[in-house]
């Protein structure tokens, strides 16, 4: 443990807030990383569900004075006692007799949305929330007096008032209001929230709401810091297969037929047409680039048929891949498919993916119902059996990234940018060690690189360590623009899963360790001056999930590097125990 406690910076998937990932070492904030993405994104949460990050669709959820909130005959006084022991609530006064209201618009493509706000009686006790229709709450006795909603006491006179609305449009508005008999009438408010689905999720504070780091549980019960490059889902209405954007053939679609991987009842059932022997399904037509590698993915679950297959018609080629939804095994591929995969997501759901290189500029991604592997026949179709489907995605690249929901247009998720500038004092300028313990993804891509690096804000002075997605590993050092160290092992054969990397450096003394093995060294290089630490997208980018990242201002010994990266040293678990942080 003493080795880790001597690090100058230690980052784990630990505490965070919007735009910030807290360092375990140092604990005074000087090592906290900045997080920028400027778009929403998804993660797998601790319950194993796919969710938006952040799931609160409102901006500035506690700052009602912000321009994101439209105010009508309203005066706000900050610094009031809130439901959770702070002073972040507002006294909400009327500035005129009549209706006093706040409102904020938000966008979502979900069929059901839950909206909520915390409120406490003041001189008046009647609060209304308008979202298509009014729901009236009595804050004096904790009751809903009209409309359909829920009011829950959270103590000290505070209530959480919430309501659902179905079949909402792309743009919606949370609109709380009350009727004032005089300009002295007021109530107290705190914490507005809008979430997809019908459940009032735990309240989540937001500011701009777009820069929260993604603590992802895809790899187990402990989170990893998910870092991905920019990607675009080219498909529209990615989970609304009953939309006209998805024509059916020999099939029908039942909307909101079962619980999807996001925990809401919004997955569709694709039903094979009665008596049809040829497989049915859905498809979408769109334009793509020629001679470009794409990955097509969707979530599927058996619903009478235990197989499905993906097809991308890209005339003159049809790319096909089958998937067993009973055993979770990849089936056959036909038509020059580069690779295919099936990943379990719990409750019988699998994410099915197929990678191909286009041969034309028009494409039709299909989801087919199937009776068996390598078959496009469905004998005995009864008009009831089929498959469940949710979350289709078509993106450039040779692997599927986290799900990007869409409605009427394609959606781009920006790259996760996680870095810390101006910390030359925490980086060894004449010697040091870089370390990361992460889950890596190997896809065969020889151009996408992931890892960590130090630099001076430019590409002239760089110390980098990481891997390419074809299994190649590399440590590289640039000094004044010249490549002085290049420990490059194309045939290392890195595999999918958890790996540990460390690069120690000193004048004429560089050494590179992976999983307890010294894989390379260099004895003829200087050390560049650096002041920036970067955990994110490097040189075109690959996805990576960090369990722990650390720096030392000294070149650790080879024995220490072997122990640090070796299989007998469970870095993540020991860090969690040693620093006693709370997993989020």
Q: What is the pLDDT of residues 496-548, one digit of tens each?
A: 889 999 999 999 999 999 999 999 999 999 999 999 999 986 666 778 999 99
Compute the distance between CA of residue 143 and CA of residue 129 in angstroms, rounded to an integer: 14
CATH code assigned to 70-196: 2.60.120.430
Judge contact between 92 and 177, C-beta under 8 A.
no
pLDDT digits (tens, 9 = 90+) for 393-427: 999 999 999 999 998 899 999 999 999 999 999 99
Burial of 219 (0-12, 13-18, 19+ CB in 10 A): middle
- In the prediction, which pLDDT does 272 show? 97
Q: What's the whole-number mean pLDDT along residues 464-487? A: 94
pLDDT digits (tens, 9 = 90+) for 480-495: 999 999 999 998 888 8
pLDDT exceeds 90 at position 448: no
Q: Percentage of residues in the chain with pLDDT exceeding 70?
A: 95
Alpha helices for 431-570 (secondary structure H):
558-565
- In the prediction, which pLDDT does 442 show? 85
Residue 578's pLDDT band (boundaries 50, 70, 90)? Answer: very low
Structure tokens given for 82: 């809130």
Residue 167's pLDDT band (boundaries 50, 70, 90)? Answer: low
Q: What's the whole-number mean pLDDT along residues 441-448? A: 82
Q: Which residues make up the CATH 2.60.120.200 domain(s) of the chain?
A: 2-52+416-579
Q: Which residues make up the CATH 2.60.120.430 domain(s) of the chain?
A: 70-196
pLDDT exceeds 80 at position 117: yes
DSSP label at residue 55 = -
- In the prediction, which pLDDT does 567 show? 66
- In the prediction, which pLDDT does 538 show? 64
Backbone angles phi, psi at 245, to 5 degrees: -65, -15
CATH code assigned to 231-413: 2.60.120.260
Q: What's the whole-number mean pLDDT along residues 41-62? A: 94
Name residue, tokens 């960090």: 546
Q: Which residues make up the CATH 2.60.120.260 domain(s) of the chain?
A: 231-413
Compute the distance between CA of residue 167 and CA of residue 543 in angstroms, rounded to an integer: 35
Q: What's the whole-number mean pLDDT along residues 333-361? A: 97
- In the prediction, which pLDDT does 568 show? 52
pLDDT digits (tens, 9 = 90+) for 523-537: 999 999 999 999 986
Residue 271's pLDDT band (boundaries 50, 70, 90)? Answer: very high
Mean pLDDT of the chain, nearest integer? 92
Residue 171's pLDDT band (boundaries 50, 70, 90)? Answer: low
For the 2-52+416-579 domain, the top CATH level (class) is: mainly beta
- In the prediction, which pLDDT does 107 show? 81
- In the prediction, which pLDDT does 445 show? 79
Beta pairing partners, 92: 76, 187
User: What is the residue-wise DSSP string for 450-474?
Assistant: EEEEEESSSSSSEEEEEEEETS-EE
Compute the distance between CA of residue 94 and CA of residue 11 in angstroms, rounded to an integer: 47
Q: Percentage of residues in the chain with pLDDT exceeding 90?
A: 80
């Amino acid at each position: 443990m003493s080795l880790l406690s001597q690090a100058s910076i230690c980052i784990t998937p630990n505490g965070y807030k919007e735009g910030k990932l807290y360092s375990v070492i140092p604990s005074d904030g000087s090592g906290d990383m900045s997080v920028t993405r400027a778009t929403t994104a998804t993660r797998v949460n601790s319950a194993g569900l796919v969710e938006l990050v952040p799931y609160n669709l409102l901006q500035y959820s506690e700052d009602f004075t912000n321009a994101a909130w439209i105010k009508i005959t309203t005066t706000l006084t900050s610094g009031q006692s809130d439901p959770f022991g702070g002073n972040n609530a507002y006294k909400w006064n009327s500035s005129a007799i009549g209706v006093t209201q706040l409102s904020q618009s938000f966008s979502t493509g979900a069929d059901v949305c839950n909206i909520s706000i915390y409120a406490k009686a003041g001189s008046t006790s009647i609060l209304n929330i308008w979202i298509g229709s009014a729901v009236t709450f009595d804050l004096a006795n904790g009751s809903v007096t009209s409309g359909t909603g829920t009011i829950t006491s959270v103590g000290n006179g505070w209530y959480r008032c919430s309501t659902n609305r179905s079949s909402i449009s792309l743009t919606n508005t949370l609109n709380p209001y009350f009727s004032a008999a005089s300009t002295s009438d007021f109530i107290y408010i705190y914490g507005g929230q809008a979430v997809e689905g019908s459940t009032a999720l735990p309240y989540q504070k937001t500011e701009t709401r777009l820069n929260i780091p993604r603590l992802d549980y895809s790899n187990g019960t402990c989170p990893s810091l998910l870092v991905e490059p920019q990607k675009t889902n080219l498909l529209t209405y990615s989970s609304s297969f009953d939309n006209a954007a998805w024509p059916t053939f020999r099939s029908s679609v039942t909307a909101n037929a079962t619980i999807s991987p996001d925990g809401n009842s919004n997955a569709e059932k694709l039903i094979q047409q009665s008596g049809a022997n040829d497989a049915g399904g859905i498809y979408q037509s769109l334009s793509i680039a020629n001679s470009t590698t794409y990955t097509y993915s969707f979530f599927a679950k058996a619903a009478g048929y235990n197989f499905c297959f993906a097809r991308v018609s890209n005339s003159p080629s049809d790319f096909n891949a089958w998937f067993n939804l009973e055993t979770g095994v990849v089936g056959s591929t036909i038509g020059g498919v580069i690779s295919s995969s099936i990943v379990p997501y719990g409750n019988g759901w699998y994410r099915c993916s197929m990678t191909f290189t286009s041969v034309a500029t028009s494409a039709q991604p299909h989801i087919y119902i199937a009776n068996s592997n390598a078959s496009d026949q469905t004998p005995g179709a009864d008009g009831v059996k089929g498959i469940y489907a949710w979350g289709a995605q078509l993106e450039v690249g040779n692997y599927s990234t986290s799900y990007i929901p869409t409605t009427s247009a394609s959606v781009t998720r920006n790259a996760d940018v996680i870095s810390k500038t101006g910390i030359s004092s925490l980086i060894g300028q004449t010697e040091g060690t870089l370390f990361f313990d992460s889950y890596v993804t190997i896809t065969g891509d020889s151009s996408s690189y992931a890892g960590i690096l130090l630099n001076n804000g430019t590409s002239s002075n760089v110390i980098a360590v990481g891997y390419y997605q074809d299994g190649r590993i590399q440590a590289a050092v640039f000094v004044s623009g010249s490549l002085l160290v290049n420990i490059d092992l194309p045939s290392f054969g890195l595999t999918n899963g958890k790996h540990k990397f460390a690069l120690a450096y000193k004048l004429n003394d560089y050494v590179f360790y992976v999983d307890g093995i010294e894989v390379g060294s260099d004895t003829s290089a200087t050390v560049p001056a650096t002041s920036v630490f970067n955990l994110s997208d490097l040189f075109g980018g690959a996805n990576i999930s960090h369990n722990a990242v650390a720096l030392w201002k000294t070149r650790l010994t080879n024995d220490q590097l072997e122990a640090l990266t070796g299989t007998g040293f469970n870095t993540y678990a020991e860090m969690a125990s040693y620093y006693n942080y709370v997993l989020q």
